[in-house]
Structure 1
C-alpha cells in the first residue's frame, strides 16, 4: 500500500491502465498527486473540480444521445448514479489506480486498503457495491482528476469519455 510515497508518479503504468498517452505528462502527475505528498505545490484538487463537471457533462451527453426516449428525470438519476463517489471509487479499485497515487497519509491509506479489500469480495458485476464499507472520497477524486487531465491534454470531451468509460464498453 502507499506509504509515504514521495517518488515520481509512474506515468507509463498509468497510461497503460488508461489506454491513453499524454502529450503533457505533468497533467497526469498532478492528477495522481495527493496534497499530503506535494508540500502544497501540486495536487489533484483543481483537476478533480474540472473532472467532476466534465464527467457529468459527458454522461449527460451519452445518455441524451443513446436513449432518445428516456425522460429527463430518469436521465438525471442515471447520470448521478454513474458518476457517484461510490461508483467512481470502485472504478479506481477495479483498475488498480490507487497504488499509482503519490500520497503521504497513513490513516487514509488504511481506509482505502479496507475499502479495497471489501470491494474485492464483491462479485465482479456488482459495480454499485454490495459492501457496507463507505468509499473513501480520494478514490473518486482521483478518477475525476484523471478525467480532467485527459480532457485538458486532448481538449476533446468525446476522447476523454471514450478513455474513462472503464466499466461499460471495454
Structure 2
C-alpha cells in the first residue's frame, strides 16, 4: 500500500505524516484493505485536513468514519453484552456498554495497537502531543472500525472489535455499581449491617437461578434474581435503590 495518496505526497509543510507504515498497521490489525484510501481517511485528523485546505488541497477528515464506526461498535458491543450477561437488567447493561466504549477505554485500546503512530496530524497538533491525546486516539479507533465496515463487511468489523476491543475489556467490572452505591447510601444514613441472603435456589447445576434478598439492620429492602449469586445480588441492590428512591425504575 502507498503510505499516502499522490496528492498528499505533493503537499509541502502542511502537517506530520504517520510515523509508521500503513502496511504494518494492516498487519497489526489483521485486516488488509481493498481500498487503502479508506484506512488513510480513518487516520486523517481534522487539523491535518485544515492545513491542507489552507494550501488549496481538499481532503476529508476521519470524522464521518468515526460517526459510522461509533454506531457499528455500539451494536456489536450491545449484542455481546446481551448474550454474555443474559440476566443483567437493561439499565446495568447500558452502564456496562458506556464504560466499555468510553473515550478512555478506546484510547487505551488504540495505544495497544500503536494507532497514534499512524495518524495524520498538523505540525502544531503533533508537537502538542496529539498522537497521545485520548480524544484523537479514541476517534481514530472508531474511524478504523467504520473503515473496515465499509471496505469489507459487518462481519469483518465485528471480528476486529472482538479481537481488539471485547477480548481486551473487562465489562464485568462495571457490574459492581449498584451494590457499591447501595452500601454508600446506607452508610450515609447511618445504617450499619447490610446482608445478602439466598432465599431460593432452583434449576440443574449447569443452569441455576438464584433469588437473593438484601436487608439492612434486619429489614428486607430488595429482592433480585440471577443466573449467578453475583448478578442476583446486584439486581437485589438495584431494587433496593429504587425502593429508596435513589434510582428510577
TM-score (normalizing by structure 1): 0.76
Q: CA RMSD, aligned part only?
A: 2.4
Q: Report the equivalent of 1:73.
A: 91
2:138 & 2:127 partners in 1: Cα distance?
Answer: 14
Q: Does 1:150 align with 2:148?
A: yes
Q: Does 1:22 align with 2:19?
A: no
1:19 & 1:163 partners in 2: Cα distance?
Answer: 8
Q: Report the equivalent of 1:138.
A: 136
Q: Which residue of the other structure, out of 111, 119, 123, is the alignment partner of 1:101? A: 119
More strand by percentage: 2
Return closer, same or farther for 1:8/1:86 CA change in 2, 3 Å cut-off.
Answer: closer
Q: Does 1:169 align with 2:187?
A: no
Q: Does 1:88 align with 2:101?
A: no
2:166 & 2:16 partners in 1: Cα distance?
Answer: 32
2:19 & 2:60 partners in 1: Cα distance?
Answer: 12
1:102 & 1:27 partners in 2: Cα distance?
Answer: 13
CA contact (8 A) 1:9 1:29 kept: no
1:167 & 1:60 partners in 2: Cα distance?
Answer: 13
Q: Report the equivalent of 2:45.
A: 34
- Larger CA Rg, structure 1 vs 2: 2
Q: Paired residues, what number?
A: 147
1:14 & 1:82 partners in 2: Cα distance?
Answer: 23
User: Aligned-pair distance for 1:18?
Assistant: 0.7
Q: Report the equivalent of 2:247.
A: none
Q: Which of 1 and 2 has higher RCO (CA within 8 Å, sep 6+)?
A: 1
User: Aligned-pair distance for 1:85?
Assistant: 0.6
Unmatched runs of 5 consecutive residues or more in structure 1? 117-134
Is the partner of 1:169 in helix, strand or coil?
Answer: helix
2:136 & 2:90 partners in 1: Cα distance?
Answer: 30
Unmatched runs of 5 consecutive residues or more in structure 2? 1-13, 53-57, 169-249
2:156 & 2:108 partners in 1: Cα distance?
Answer: 22
User: Aligned-pair distance for 1:136?
Assistant: 3.1
Q: Report the equivalent of 1:127.
A: none
User: Aligned-pair distance for 1:5?
Assistant: 1.7
1:168 & 1:59 partners in 2: Cα distance?
Answer: 7
